[in-house]
Chains A and B, each alone.
Chain A
Amino acid sequence: MIRPILIRGGRVIDPSRRTDGVADVYLADGKVAAVGRNIVGEDGCQVIEAAGKVVTPGLIDLHVHLREPGFEELETVSTGAMAAAAGGFTAVCAMPNTDPPLDNQGAIGFVISQAQKAGKARVYPIGTISLGQKGEQLSEFGELLSAGAVAVSDDGKPIMNSHLMRTALEYAKTFGIPVADHCEEITLAQGGAMHEGIVATRLGLKGIPAAAEEIHVARDCILSELTGGHIHLCHMSTRGSVELIRRAKAKGLHVTAEVTPHHFTLTHDACDGYNTNAKMNPPLREPEDVEAVREALKDGTVDVIATDHAPHHYDAKEREFDDAPNGILGLETAFGLAVTQLVRPGLIALPDLLYRMSTRAAQIFKLPGGTLAVGSHADIAVLDPDVEWTVDPGQFYSKSRNTPFGGRRLFGRAEVTIVRGRVVYDRAAPPGRLS
């Protein structure tokens, strides 16, 4: 039996039911048992005092790279799931660009079993669209799903073959799953190290034009219209992409999209000085793009915030900009960046942010969670949106340290994270590092 938990006196925000007010939340048998005033828990239940804090469905990240199997020196399912919990996430979706890639039942099952052993945030694997992520032949979606995958993607690589994308969207309809695409027209992007713009011109680095993303977004929207399939557009970064998605949604197409915290926070200026911790794909763009993705989060053109958590070893980033790998960590800074960049400036209200970081994410990938409805999974985050803290990569639970946000002052972080009715992270009594 799991010991019941009474979370007392917090501001309870449930975006799934549009409720927001001071209440108690009672968790028993791994489920939400009650939400209301003055709940009296059974004797011996664990009490979490949440006055002044926000109690909400656990955050859900649709896009992380946990690097296992194959790159365990960067991250493992266990360390990634712990980093997620420390960031307030109760579930993450793991991209399949591992070695071997998650293109078969065995590999999906392995990730699930590693996640169960870790017992931290839930980990939902995403299977590959194509066998070996080679962009040639479809993976066995049905097999992948039966092993526990929740979506398909070749993330890290775009599906350049339009026929393959068409058939993926069509075939995915059999199972009602989204096809998540990394949008990059590679003939335009090839060899690019950062956004094509004035900073790249000054630094003498080959740029990746916004058009490389937008051409691919346009194609995917057109194929979604052709097939009626659900296209999920990963890490949108340009104002042009936002405009294309807005038009597709106005037409009623089944298109959903995500944006990362770094794309709503940083511009290509962060690459100055050849800062490899600002190197990512898609690259950091221009102020007008940052403005556009923020606006898109506000008006719902972009559905969710997803981190694209991408661990890399420090010595891989400690080199010439052209040769450094793409990507940064995201799980342990996402909520703080969102509060600091979106909520405190008054752009997005906290309940709307939580909708985009939890409820909406659960809806579009059809995951449990994202709600405090009685009987739903007891996956809960207790967040302090007002606390100010300084990002110290040395304190991360992730195995890697690659972040451009070290030393940055942020507002908002997770205090307690509960998964399946158990506390998996408590800032007041932090667990040791995992390895």
Chain B
Amino acid sequence: MSPATLGKDLVGLETLSAAQILLLLDTAERFKEVSERPIKKVPALRGKTIVNLFFEASTRTRISFEFAEKRLSADTVNVASSGSSVSKGETLVDTARNLEAMRIDMVVIRHHASGSAEFLGNRIRSNVINAGDGKHEHPTQGLLDLLTLRDRFGKLEGLKVAICGDVTHSRVARSNIWGLKKLGAEVAVCGPPSLVPREIGQLGVEVMTRIEDAIAWADALNVLRLQLERMTAGFIPSLREYNRVFGVTRERLARAPKDLVIMHPGPMNRGVEIDSDVADGEHSVILPQVTNGVAVRMAALYLLAGGSPDWQHQGGSE
């Protein structure tokens, strides 16, 4: 794979080189401006057909992809798992092959099973973009986190980022670890040991069990969503206690030696992993993350479709 291209699919950041990740970020940088125009559309993917195949509920990611596709002038179809043949027991590979038989160009897939995006990519000719597969990766979320941090700090090299919360079940954590490490950032994960894989240190990250330690160490926190079912499955006693011991609160942040940039992939559980005054505070970049999501997804779609890395918008003023 040449560093100037991405290959056929975007399955995860683990398999990308630093050069490929930078290519995505730099291309996204150029696409940001499109969303700021009065007429938010460029013809880059005109005539391309894209299927958004969502086997798992998603609002933010699905809409973000859809905006990215529409702003690139692609034709899009959304397939959700309910109301489709999937609910009649059709296998993933049959669903995809049938879609492909209708001559499509790209599939964006969100699926509850780890590895499903790679599985699909290996079995169809269309480009596949992983919009989150189980607990494996969520590469466009990782990329938008990188872009947001780069916007804020000017560079990623040497930056200290702590990923806080339910690391075990988080595809966002994995994509962040790969992307940040490849671009030279230092990464720590912090959470209750019952929600952090024992082997995670082998990926080259620091492991911390006290949120206070992470706050004292980091330049930025990426606070993961804590799902309610972790409590019923016995990983933690209660959401209340989680907030008390691991919550990112204004009091804890006030004791940090410097101001920390606060990220969250959404949707937030206010008052659980993050307090409202932190989420809405001056150092939160949670909404810029969402804005960057569209640009990053435009870049991924455009590059996988074979677009030239030196995309120039038309009629703009750069």
Contact = CB atoms under 8 A, between A and B. Distances in A.
B134 A204 contact: yes
A19 interface: no
Interface of A: 196-198, 200-207, 273-274, 315, 318-323
A274 B135 CA distance: 13
15 contacts: A196-B198, A197-B199, A198-B199, A198-B203, A201-B200, A203-B114, A204-B135, A204-B171, A274-B115, A318-B91, A319-B92, A320-B92, A320-B116, A322-B134, A323-B113
Interface in B105-144: 111, 113-116, 118-119, 133-137
A274 B174 contact: no
Contacts of B93: 318-319
Interface in B126-184: 133-137, 171, 174
B202 A198 contact: yes
Contact of A274 (B114, B200, B203): B114
B113 A320 contact: yes
A198 B197 CA distance: 9
Contacts of B118: 273-274
B14 interface: yes
B111 A320 contact: yes
B200 A204 contact: no
A201 B203 contact: yes
Contact of A203 (B111, B115, B200, B203): B115
Contacts of A197: 199
Nearest to B114: A204
A199 to B, nearest CB: 9
A178 to B, nearest CB: 35
A322 B199 contact: no
A320 B134 CA distance: 11
Nearest to B233: A191
A343 B169 CA distance: 42
B191 to A, nearest CB: 14
A205 B91 contact: no
Nearest to A201: B197
Interface residues on B, range: 20 to 34
Interface of B: 14, 91-93, 111, 113-116, 118-119, 133-137, 171, 174, 197-200, 202-203
A140 B93 CA distance: 45
A7 to B, nearest CB: 48
A206 B115 CA distance: 12
A197 B202 CA distance: 10
A413 B79 CA distance: 51
A254 B199 CA distance: 36
A204 B119 CA distance: 14
Nearest to A275: B115
A289 B98 CA distance: 43
A322 B134 CA distance: 10
A204 B202 contact: no
A144 B302 CA distance: 66
B115 A321 contact: yes
A207 B134 CA distance: 14
A414 B89 CA distance: 42
A273 B11 CA distance: 11
A169 B136 CA distance: 43
By Cβ-Cβ distance, the 10 closest A-B pairs, closest first, are: A204-B136, A274-B115, A204-B135, A320-B113, A204-B114, A198-B199, A201-B197, A322-B113, A201-B199, A198-B202
A145 B215 CA distance: 66
Contacts of B133: 204
Given A320-B115, A323-B113, 12 more contacts: A196-B198, A198-B202, A201-B200, A201-B203, A202-B14, A205-B114, A206-B135, A320-B92, A321-B113, A321-B114, A321-B119, A322-B113
A205 B135 contact: yes
Contact of B119 (A196, A198, A201, A320): A320
A264 B152 CA distance: 51
A204 B199 contact: no
A196 B198 CA distance: 9
A322 B114 contact: yes
Contacts of A202: 14, 174, 203
A190 to B, nearest CB: 10
Contacts of A273: 118
A315 B137 CA distance: 25
Contacts of A205: 114-115, 134-136
A274 B119 contact: yes
A403 to B, nearest CB: 19
Nearest to B111: A320
B120 to A, nearest CB: 10
Contacts of A323: 113
A265 to B, nearest CB: 23
Contacts of A198: 199, 202-203
A234 B126 CA distance: 44
B92 A204 contact: no
Nearest to A323: B113
Nearest to A199: B199
A203 B136 contact: yes
A203 B133 CA distance: 10
Nearest to A273: B118
Contacts of B136: 203-205
A274 B118 CA distance: 8
A68 to B, nearest CB: 26
Contacts of A320: 92, 111, 113, 115-116, 119
Nearest to A320: B113
* Interface-centre pick from A197, A204, A320 (highest chain B CB count, 10 A): A204
B47 to A, nearest CB: 32
A205 to B, nearest CB: 5
A323 B116 CA distance: 11
Contacts of A200: 197
A381 B137 CA distance: 50
Contacts of A203: 114-115, 136
